[in-house]
Amino acid sequence: MNAFHRNRMVRPPIGPLFLGLLCLVFFFIIFARQPCSRAAGIDIPAVHLNLDGVKGPEQVSGALQIVFVLTIISLAPALLILMTSFTRFAVVLSFLRSAMGTQQSPPNQVIVGLALFLTFFVMKPVWQKINSQALAPYEQHTISTDQFIDRGMAPLKDFMLRQTGEQDLALFVSMSQNTRPQNAQSLSVWTVIPAFVISELKKSFQIGFMLYVPFIIVDMVVASILLSMGMMMLPPVMVSLPFKLMLFIMVDGWGLLIGSLVKSFH
């Protein structure tokens, strides 16, 4: 095996690293104690590793808090993708690139970055509720850890229930083999999350179908014209691509698509 193939094998994946880095930055901004607009510096908690024996319950509590924070950071990408609007944005933008036939333009990093910041924009009211109802009281030591988790999950659960179809909820309620709940609010979050993901994928594929229709029409018209002119050796995709780009720009496709996606969550 030559050096070229060895270099290709050890090349790190850029997409997951980029998504993980943005997730870490996002959670650092959300859970930072000091706002960025203050003149004073941001207080960063110090972490000390001590291999001596435990001398009190305080050390055990501090160690458990560190483990809890590390667990949250490791699960941040999954929580961001499965419990927010990220799935719909990412899937629809990928469908748009495939429908236009631009292959790797825009690249995966741009699609993930745009979907991520659109997710921050849509989820901002939810983050504000979590901050006011759960994070701020927990920092003031007015609520316990269990109350902090329950209050923090309530806005996310309400958001997911508003975007989840009744059929998807009924599917997972029937598969859970539990007693039928009185209302949707009494459902477990472990039932709501997969139903929400299925609903997001269903809506994304419906939007993707609508995106494909005008571009397929352009491809059919160009292919028919080339066939009638006897240019059978000329690839229709190569000729139709500039027309699809021009059509998308003339109708302000980015504004229409992003605006429709954001409004679909309200």
Q: What is the spatial distance between Cα 59 and Cα 187, in angstroms, rounded to a whole number?
A: 36
161 part of a folded domain = yes
Q: Is the pLDDT of residue 249 over 50?
A: yes
Helix (H) or strand (E) holding 5: helix 3-9
The whole-number pLDDT of residue 4 equals 40
Residues 100, 215: contact at Cβ < 8 Å?
A: yes
- Residue by residue, DSSP assigns 75-141 as HHHHHHHHSSTHHHHHHHHHHHHHHHT-TTSS-HHHHHHHHHHHHHHHHHHHHHHHIIIIIHHHHTT
The whole-number pLDDT of residue 46 equals 53
The arithmetic mean of pLDDT across residues 148-176, rounded, is 87
The whole-number pLDDT of residue 203 equals 93
**Which residue has tokens 């998308």?**
248
| Most confident option among 29-43, 87-101, 130-144, 234-248 | 87-101
3 part of a folded domain = no
Q: What is the spatial distance between Cα 205 and Cα 201, in angstroms, rounded to a whole number?
A: 6
42 part of a folded domain = no
Give the Cα-Cα-Cα angle 87, 21, 150 (nearest 5 degrees). Answer: 60
Q: Which domain, by its residues, includes 209?
A: 14-32+61-263
181 part of a folded domain = yes
DSSP 8-state assignment for residue 182? S
The per-residue pLDDT for range 66-116, each reduced to its tens digit, is 777 777 777 777 777 888 999 999 999 999 999 888 878 888 999 999 999
Q: Is the pLDDT of residue 6 over 50?
A: no
156 part of a folded domain = yes
Instruction: Name 87's Cβ contacts closer than 8 Å, sequence gap at least 6.
Output: 81, 197, 200, 201, 204
The arithmetic mean of pLDDT across residues 196-210, rounded, is 93
Residue 256 CB burial class (10 angstroms; 0-12, 13-18, ≥19): exposed
Q: Is the pLDDT of residue 5 over 90?
A: no
Grade residue 232 by pLDDT with cuts at 50, 70 and 90.
confident
4 part of a folded domain = no
Domain count, the chain: 1
Q: Is the pLDDT of residue 51 over 50?
A: no
Q: What is the spatial distance between Cα 77 and Cα 118, in angstroms, rounded to a whole number?
A: 15
pTM, entire model: 0.70
Is the C-alpha dihedral spanning 154, 158, 164, 166 positive or negative?
A: positive
55 part of a folded domain = no
143 part of a folded domain = yes
Q: What is the spatial distance between Cα 265 and Cα 202, in angstroms, rounded to a whole number?
A: 14
The whole-number pLDDT of residue 11 equals 43
